Amino acid sequence: MKDNWNLRIDTSPPFVYIKDFLSKEECQNLINIGKKKGLFKAKVGVHKGILNKKLRKSSTVFLYPYDGMSDVFKKLTNAVISLNNQFYNFHIFSFNEGLQLTHYKSPGEKYGKHVDRAMNSAVRKLSVSIQLSDPNSYKGGDLCLYESDDPIYTPREQGTLIMFPSFALHEVTPVSKGERFSLVAWLTGDPLK
């Protein structure tokens, strides 16, 4: 009897990255734009009307093309389309939520284990994180992904772009010294099929 399932092997990596995607000057410019616009305490994890204050401790601000970000949006769009075509082949639409500048500071700001999807919201398919801070300026604050109990640490070099499926379990570990800035975005698309 012939097998009716046309199964394919999943060869996609847990994450992909581009070193030196942004220069030190571009990273600092993004931090300055975010600070000027004003950061607010991040909120996440509302379940049954209760906010989970232990999951995330950080400040954020959303940035859009009209915030002087047009060139960043274009550069980022070209990069993620190329990476997606090489490694994931997801049907993606856009960054319809804007770009989120995130600020973690010591002692202990973090974003606990989570996935970047939520019921009754845009279908996030790919998550992007760009390391804006010099890794020597802070301790902790690692972006880790999980395929088992053991964390997979992503690169920390300033200007590095990291992309991974939005349904991947990940976290930003507590910052124990200094402060860390990152730029985060989500690529949305059709429901996964």
Spans of all domains in the chain? 16-44+52-189
Banded model confidence at residue 160, pLDDT cuts 50, 70, 90: very high
List of residues 6+ apart from 74 with CB closer than 8 A: none
The pLDDT tens digits of the residues spanning 105-120 come to 999 999 999 999 877 7
Q: Please identify which residue in the block is written with the tokens 């209760």.
A: 50
Banded model confidence at residue 31, pLDDT cuts 50, 70, 90: very high
Helix (H) or strand (E) holding 134: none
End-to-end, the C-alpha distance of the chain in Å comes to: 27
Position 64, amino acid: Y
Q: pTM to 2 decimals?
A: 0.91
- Within 10 Å of residue 114's Cβ, how many Cβ atoms? 16
**What mean pLDDT is reported for the chain?**
91
CATH number of 16-44+52-189: 2.60.120.620
Helix (H) or strand (E) holding 75: helix 70-83
